Structure 1
Amino acid sequence: MWERTLSPARRTKTPQRIANPGCPTLPDNVSARIQTSKVRLLEGALECARAGYIPAGLKANREFAECMVTYEDKISDDLKALLFDPQTAGGLLISVQKESVADLIQALAARGVSVAEIGSVQPRTKVLIEVAP
């Protein structure tokens, strides 16, 4: 099944971010939960954020989309910022049925695509996206 839909052209070496803020794509009856401990960051990214290197596009993304996001207490402001970074345009989030996760990871890995399972889709809560440690 995955053979027809995967392409080497879809490979990415950039970290994933919350979503394209201009394009919320979740159905009305679900929310996404992202675990920041599983999000891959480029080496030095947090240090740059701490030093104040925040692109203007990040600020615009965050202003637009943050109303759809809640954070658990232990998420640092620097990490919150990186989740909205516009420089991760090559990042890709994929959502599949829980039963298909292992098959998809195997198919992507077989093609040399870096994969990280960073969260889940669950029944709708008060917000569209929940961010946890």
Structure 2
Amino acid sequence: MLDIPAELKYAASHEWARTEADGTVTIGITHHAQELLGDLVFVELPKVGAVLAKDEQAGVVESVKAASDIYAPFAGEVIEVNPALEASPEIANTEPYTSGWFFKMKPATPADVDALLSADEYAKELGA
């Protein structure tokens, strides 16, 4: 059973996005992505203040199986990173949608967040 929370938006590259009350957006990797990667052993997060283009590499995750890039699902500025994840990357395995978030962005164009995939659309991308 895939864990795809309905209230989130998704990128085809397996990042999720949650719009917060202040208009910023929290981003992490999906349950599906962490499952494919296996046990995470290292996370490289973007720098606070970095301005990223849509689909630009924002970071890297390394697992016992592979290394994989993390992408910005829309254009914007990185305003915060999750320091707990750098110390304990396995949080992204156990709690991918809560304390395992990666970074927060201020979107350049808020409508770009709305254009991401819905939970149903993401499930179809996965063939679920």
Please, what TM-score do these two structures have when normalized by structure 1?
A: 0.24
Larger relative contact order (C-alpha < 8 A, sep ≥ 6)? Answer: 1
Please, what TM-score do these two structures have when normalized by structure 2?
A: 0.24
More strand by share: 2
More helix by share: 1
Q: Which has the larger radius of gyration?
A: 1
